[in-house]
Amino acid sequence: MYKSIDLFAGIGGIRMGFDNAFNGNIETVFVSELDKAAQKTYRANFTDSFEIAGDITEIDEHKIPSFDICLAGFPCQAFSIAGSHGGFNDNYKGRCRGTLFLDVVRICDYHKPKVIFCENVKGLVMHDKGRTFEIIRGAFEEIGYKVFYQILNSKDFGVPQNRERIYLVCFREDIAPNSFEFPSGSKKNVCIRDIMDPAPIPSKYYLSDTYMQTLIRHKERHASKGNGFGYEIRDLDGIAGTIVCGGMGRERNLLIDSREHSMVPTTNIKGEINKEDIRKMTPREWARLQGFPDTYKLILADAPLYKQFGNSVTVSVIEAIAKEIYKVLEEKKQYSGESNKMVNEADKKVQMVG
């Protein structure tokens, strides 16, 4: 049984991918997540006997149970194209999100797990002309790990979302393979229509005509300046753009859903529900865009759920990578077992001769 820890755990997307891939042969022994709302969603979906730890910078690595695999989706906002590009100089509520990976290094330097797995935005590679990524990779190499990395797109892994992310797989040098093959994805074509909730969709997800006019004016202003910002209506037979937790995250993935629905508002809106049948996706639809199963419990209000899924990972991508990691670990275990057997048999022969 492999033991893992889940750092910057969010709502458990990385853990779920590894749990699926390892098929019962992995146990989570420690979880850390700062956001209280994310902790609530995590607890609702994972029945751990221990408490979720908070601020990683305050965690004593000596008090973390020993583990084989470190899962760490450290904060990406400091390196995101959509963010402020703060990097190592990022400041968010008095915290530098860009340097939190150093806590992963600190914890793993002490425990020396077999594998460190990280996920981040693809902008990490390009940030500061590549110097930021070299510092991160160098830090893992300095504590004894061989680093493999690849940018993968979620749309290639059974979900209709265009989402490019970089994935780092770091093997401890004594068990590191010469090469590591990242999965190429599946050929299965999935479109937005495949992940839509059944009708009728609650009227609260349909935009008001007043708000639609605001979005139209906003887009026109940016278009006049040569910018491509603004709302976007997606083709139901196409795929969604990258879902994000802030800004225009929902408005850039609007749908025209002409199936029967109520035109009576259930929330306070200005104007009336638009007659073009334009709506935003539901949190459950966002969950499906990220590869979460329908059994995953959504216990919070819509606003925090949109934030959580926008910040999360695509489970199917994680699972595909984790399967390749599992193969390497099991091959190393088998090789180690055969080597020990050969040594024991050699010892017996020596004793017999003696």
Query: pLDDT for 7-28, tens place per residue?
Result: 999 999 999 999 999 999 999 9
Question: For 58, which DSSP code?
Answer: G
- Mark whether 179 and 203 lie in a shared domain: no
CA distances to 13, 110, 142, 149, 183 from 119, rounded to whole Å, are 11, 21, 19, 10, 15
- Mark whether 38 and 111 lie in a shared domain: yes
Residue type, position 9, single letter: A
pLDDT confidence of residue 198: 97
Show the tokens assigned to 9: 């755990």
Below-70 pLDDT ranges, the chain: 76-98, 246-248, 336-354
Active site residues: 76
CA distances to 84, 126, 157, 308, 345 from 80, rounded to whole Å, are 7, 10, 22, 16, 55
pLDDT confidence of residue 292: 98
Decide if 353 is inside a domain: no
Residue 175, classified by CB atoms within 10 Å of its CB into exposed (0-12), middle (13-18) or buried (19+), is: middle
Number of domains in the chain: 2
- Mark whether 180 and 198 lie in a shared domain: no
pLDDT confidence of residue 278: 97
Question: For 93, which DSSP code?
Answer: T
- Mark whether 6 and 138 lie in a shared domain: yes
Between strands 69-72 and 115-121, the pairing is parallel
Question: Which CATH number covers residue 249?
Answer: 3.90.120
- Mark whether 284 and 178 lie in a shared domain: no
Which residues constitute the domain of residue 41?
Answer: 2-186+314-342
pLDDT confidence of residue 142: 94
Decide if 162 is inside a domain: yes
Question: Which CATH number covers residue 27?
Answer: 3.40.50.150
pLDDT confidence of residue 340: 55
- Mark whether 137 and 36 lie in a shared domain: yes
Report the distance separating Cα 108 and Cα 164, nearest Å: 26
- Mark whether 216 and 144 lie in a shared domain: no
Decide if 352 is inside a domain: no
pLDDT confidence of residue 279: 97
